[in-house]
Amino acid sequence: MSATAARIDELKAEGRAALIGYLPTGFPTVEQSIETARTLIESGADILELGIPYSDPVMDGPTIQDAVNIALDNGARVKDVFTVIEAVAGLGAPVLVMTYFNPVLRYGVDAFARDLAAAGGSGLITPDLIPEEAGEWIAAADARDLDKVFLVAPSSTPQRLALTAAASRGFVYAASTMGVTGERATVGSRAEQLVAATRAAGAERVCVGLGVSRPEQAAEVGRYADGVIVGSAFVKPLLGDAPFAQRLAAMSDVARGLADGVRSARTGAGRA
C-alpha cells in the first residue's frame, strides 16, 4: 500500500481526517522552504504537498501566484523539489509533489519518477492531467510504486468519476468548487455530494481542496472527507516584509488551528 493511503487509513482508524498542507518549493528560498515544510509538519500537517514553481499557474489564485513568482525570481528550479523532499521525508508525513505536467514532461517523465522515488517522495498530484492522457506517467509511477493523484470537480460526470477513481492511487483530489485556489468565505456547497459520488464511483479515499482556510471550514470538510487540503491559508502568512521567523510562526499558528479543526470534526473537541 502507498504511504499516503496508509497514513490516511491510520488516521481514519483514529476517527479523523488527514490535514494535507501545500507549500511551493523554493519560497521564499529553497533553504527557507525546507524550514517551512518542517514547521508545517511539526504544527500538525499529516501529509505534505510540495508545489513546483511554474510560470503559467492557471489553477492558482493570487496568493500562491505571488509566492511562486518570488520562488522563480529567487532561482527555484524543478530539481529543487527533490532537495526539499530529501530533507523532510523522514519526519513522518508522506510527501507528494503537486505540479502542472509540463515541467515533468520537460524534465523527462521516467527521470522525474526515478528522482522522486529516490528522494523519498510518495507520488504526484497532477491538476491539469487527465487519466486518458497520462499513460506515460502511469507506467513510470507504477514501475516505482508512486501515487497517482488525479482530480475531480463538481462538473465531473459519473463516467469521469469512475475513470478517475480507477486511475488514482493514494487518494482522489476533489476540487470543492470550480475556479482557482484561494481562501473563501465558504467551502463549495457541492463538495460533500462530490465526495459521496466519487466514493460511489469506486474511490477508497477522497480528499477535498480549494477554499479551506479556517478551523471551522476544516471541521466541516473533515466530517465527510478523508483529507482536508489547505494551501493559500498556509502561504499567506509567509508573504510580506516581516522577519522570516515571525512569518514562520504565523504560519505555524494557522496550521495548529486548522489541525484542531480537523481533529474536532468527528469528536466534537480539539486537541488538548
Active site residues: 49, 60
Residues 6+ apart with CB under 8 A from 32: 244
Alpha-carbon separation of residue 167 from 36, 68, 130, 220, 226 (angstroms): 32, 29, 9, 28, 18
Q: What span, in angstroms and rounded, lies between the C-alpha atoms of 22 and 64?
A: 10
Q: What span, in angstroms and rounded, lies between the C-alpha atoms of 43 and 31?
A: 19
Alpha-carbon separation of residue 184 from 6, 39, 173, 212, 251 (angstroms): 30, 24, 18, 7, 18
Dihedral of CA 138/140/146/150: which sign?
negative
Q: What span, in angstroms and rounded, lies between the C-alpha atoms of 86 and 153?
A: 32
Reduce the DSSP state of residue 175 to 3 states and report it.
Answer: strand
Residues 6+ apart with CB under 8 A from 104: 112, 124, 126, 137
